[in-house]
Amino acid sequence: MKVSDILTDKGREVLTIDAGATLIEAAQSLDTNRIGALVVLDADGSLAGVISERDIVRIAARNGSAALTSPVSVAMTRDVHTASPGDSLDDLMIEMTDRRIRHLPVIDGGQLAGMVSIGDVVKRKIESAEAEADAMKRYISAG
């Protein structure tokens, strides 16, 4: 299974936020949409970073609640690792585990094409393992 398969199932909509928005606005968007990260866009609409729940908690822990009025740009991850539609789930699992990343924007032809979370990857891996187990059971039963 590939990233493109996940995007086909879940959709390609990506929630974004402007780098100048406040951290409280980012937190509210995360809460409202029940997601863990937003893609941050710069003034020209290109990928500038990712802001996650972890990023917001980290800056609030260090600087107190006043940090929530700061712009997203001060807390976001700038060194963004991305996925491509042709990447395998195994490749994603390795990258996400090694880098301790829970969300990867998907870039296709230089354009933002979706977002994949560790939850998406684990869900598909479980579905694949269950399908394989069912196939083995049928094979054994057919004897």
Tens digits of residue pLDDT in 82-141: 999 999 999 999 999 999 999 999 999 988 999 999 999 988 888 888 878 888 888 888
**Tell me, what DSSP letter sits at residue 102?**
S
- Residue 64 makes CB contacts below 8 A (sequence gap 6+) with none
Q: Which two structure tokens, joined as six digits, stand for 79? A: 């060194």
pTM: 0.83
**Which sequence spans correspond to the domains of the chain?**
3-142
pLDDT at 143 over 70: no
Surface-to-core class of residue 54, CB atoms within 10 Å of its CB (0-12 exposed, 13-18 middle, 19+ buried) = middle
What is the arithmetic mean of pLDDT over 47-76?
Answer: 95
- The answer to whether residue 142 scores a pLDDT higher than 90 is no
Domain 3-142 has CATH 2.120.10.30: no
